[in-house]
Amino acid sequence: MPTLSGYLNGGYLGFSNEFSFLDSDQNWSGFSSFGISLNLPIFSSGMRSAATQRARINLEKAKDALTETEQQLKLQIASAKSDYQFAIEDYENKKQNLNLAERIEKKNQIKFSEGIASSFELRQAQTQLYTAQQEFLQSMLDVINKKATLETVLNTINN
């Protein structure tokens, strides 16, 4: 880029063998100078080309980063959807297991009251029922957490 600059300078000088600069009869000599400078770069040593190339490289880096971010978001969305679907399927499975454990426990209650089953068998059926209830509640919590994760990834949280 061509540049044009200039300057102007002026002042007074006084010469003496003794310190008499404050006397009124001291001789003072005035001076002034001025100048202009013009800079026209004929050869820029490739700086403009290098700057353009750096800008082009930075643009490519930004495009690559954008593509990578988009792919990561798509992967997060797919993973969150898959996790949510699995949590729903696990919930349905645990619900069926709970129903089965309830039926087994009721049958063992009847068998125990009729003297066919021992208290150990009844206690075992009750323990299985409690375990099934705990797993069912945990699967409900998993569904809620996976749905919240999916909504966060999709940015669709309802207030």
Threshold 0.75, pTM exceeds: no
Looking at the chain, list the stretches that DSSP marks H as alpha helix, in order from N- to C-terminal side: 47-113, 119-154
Mean pLDDT of 115-141: 95
Q: For residue range 3-36, list pLDDT tens digits in order.
A: 999 999 998 887 777 777 677 777 778 889 999 9
Q: For residue range 59-68, list pLDDT tens digits in order.
A: 999 999 999 9
Q: Where are the domains of the chain?
A: 75-154
Give the number of C-alpha atoms closer than 13 A to the C-alpha of residue 140, restricted to the C-beta side.
8
| CA gap 31, 138 in Å, rounded | 95
Mean pLDDT of 41-50: 75
| CA gap 69, 71 in Å, rounded | 5
> Under a CB-based contact definition with an 8 Å cutoff, are residues 84 and 149 in contact?
yes
80 C-beta neighbours (distance < 10 Å), count: 19
Judging by DSSP bridges, how do beta strands 3-14 and 28-39 pair with one another?
A: antiparallel
Q: For residue range 92-124, list pLDDT tens digits in order.
A: 999 999 999 999 999 999 999 999 999 999 999
**pLDDT-derived band of residue 44, with 50, 70 and 90 as boundaries?**
low
| CA gap 131, 105 in Å, rounded | 12
CA 23 to chain centroid, in Å, comes to: 76
